[in-house]
Structure 1
């Protein structure tokens, strides 16, 4: 039986959609891929729905058995462009340099739909990006997850750096049998199997390269939102986490409860009642997120109050100042001076 030994985050249901697209191109239906998962295609397309590790493992077991392709993880990962990752993907695109993007991946790995952690480093003229802390699953699924993760990383790095990104070497810990030529075709560089690491190796000079869509202000804002999600996910019930993700899904916009309720497939009244059962309210969640972002902006940036007010969704700095006094007991400028 497949099971994950190491702790893993709950992934959004929509993370399975790219794999369904790959399987559809191969002639397999969504129903066949979702068999025994207790999931439907309609559920995957709803915002805020998460899936358990056991459901995800069953899904990829189906994919492996239906395709009969031991290297299908490469194809599954090659469709993951940055925009697929939502907030985290936009943070990558806006990063100032390639090394900044790698640091984001290392810090916010759980937001990538992967079961792995990530790490990067440099050795002489080479730099590397590798997978860490993989799940304990069957050899077939282990290979699929490794291949999916390294292929997704390579595709993402090409998207944010453009033609400048070229791999020198790819290291993989499995045998690569029955399809080794697929690895050379995808990565266009030497590939070593049965290695100690799952690692992408490239020229260290790329670390300082600016990204195609680098934007310092957007990068700062998006990174701080990623920090809030990482700090708060898992601290309360699953519904609260889903609401937080919805609230933070559009930078600078804090939607009304009706908008979030509709995205989660329920009425505003039902959402209020269910949040009450988890000992919170929609206003408390929004205030918590705004307060957390406010502390980040005031404590680690030199942004003026008007700009911070705008990023937090307030119509003016006076409204922001009033709210901040309610949260912290003093004005934003006084808090910043302290």
Structure 2
């Protein structure tokens, strides 16, 4: 999955403002002060389905910087963003089999957080890293606030996922520390490297494959499938083909047959096939397209083992997945993954 600054959402749920508002009210700042000029109402904050625009959200954080007069206020605002705040995505993180799997989920479904950054992780020998990149274009003060907020939130989330303190060896920052180097070093309890290309935590790779305390692989696979559905909803144009795609993705670890989808859409199988044909496709083509697309994303953007990828794509045997992928791509999944890794190393 290629990520870029163009992929950040234009709207977030209004409830994304609740965690920082809780902190600000504890600090003595009135909700009215923080929401001034945003047009966001108390009823919207309590409505799970209410959305706010990016402009409203940015006005909120500009207010925060003004009333607090603290350039590092973002560190405090990130602390209440525990995994459960993110709904399905958060529970997919908590139920992952290992920390490596959890990081793959974070990288793959980062759009389901309240962040404006893209997430990446990698391993270099005994050191692993998790990075935040690709912010949208906006004033540096707001970028830095979001960066501090999301770094603090990531540390909280990783501690919750691991069931113990997330130990950071070194923190890279994409700026000069803004005169607050000692505060950063004290807050994250680690070494700092400044003016780096991106923001990232470095930590021991030994924790990647340790079982997580709340691990439930079956639930995690189910939740990841639901996350795929949510991602699809973010980009769906509401066409008939999109509805079929959503139903194909709806069953965790299993891809349904045409009869099942037709029944769910209250159509005969013949009508479903005819309507797909009228739109220039077929059920089999859609199924192949979805599986191939997901397979490329998993192979390119995660370190999940082949058995896990096979299961997520609905194959009972990794050999069946390998055979299908060779038919789609003309090479083995392992070779595809190796080529993708080489391409990332040479790309700017």
How many residues align? The count is 268
Is 2:45 the partner of 1:44? yes
Deviations 1:72-95 (A, max 9, x none): 111111221100111100010001
Deviations 1:161-204 (A, max 9, x none): 02263110011112223543332232111122322220001001
1:182 alignment partner in structure 2: 183
> For 2:113 and 2:262, how far apart are their aligned partners in 1?
37
1:100 alignment partner in structure 2: 101
Give the 5 Å matches for 1:122-201.
122-163=123-164, 165-201=166-202
Runs of 4+ in 1 over 6 A off after TM superposition: 319-322, 335-338
What displacement does 1:326 show?
5.5
Deviations 1:123-145 (A, max 9, x none): 12100000121121111111101
2:84 alignment partner in structure 1: 83
2:250 alignment partner in structure 1: 293
Is 2:263 the partner of 1:323? yes
Is 2:8 the partner of 1:8? yes
Confirm or deny: 8 A CA contact 1:8 1:53 kept in the other structure.
no
> For 2:103 and 2:254, how far apart are their aligned partners in 1?
26
What displacement does 1:234 show?
3.1
Is 2:108 the partner of 1:111? no
> For 1:47 and 1:231, how far apart are their aligned partners in 2?
19
**Please, which moves more after superposition, 82-91 or 193-202?**
193-202
Task: Return the TM-score normalized by structure 1.
Answer: 0.72
What displacement does 1:298 show?
2.5
Secondary structure in 1 matching 2:253:
helix
> For 1:56 and 1:324, how far apart are their aligned partners in 2?
38
Structure 1 residues without counterparts, runs of 5 or longer = 238-278, 306-318
Give the 5 Å matches for 1:53-68.
53-68=54-69
> For 2:204 and 2:247, how far apart are their aligned partners in 1?
40
Confirm or deny: 8 A CA contact 2:171 2:191 kept in the other structure.
yes
Deviations 1:283-311 (A, max 9, x none): x97x97555313x53339xxxx9xxxxxx
What displacement does 1:322 show?
8.6
What displacement does 1:206 show?
1.2
> For 2:80 and 2:179, how far apart are their aligned partners in 1?
22
> For 2:80 and 2:94, how far apart are their aligned partners in 1?
16
What root-mean-square deviation, in Å, do the aligned CA atoms of Structure 1 and Structure 2 show?
A: 3.0
Task: Return the TM-score normalized by structure 2.
Answer: 0.70
What displacement does 1:7 show?
4.3
Secondary structure in 2 matching 1:199:
strand
> For 1:13 and 1:227, how far apart are their aligned partners in 2?
22
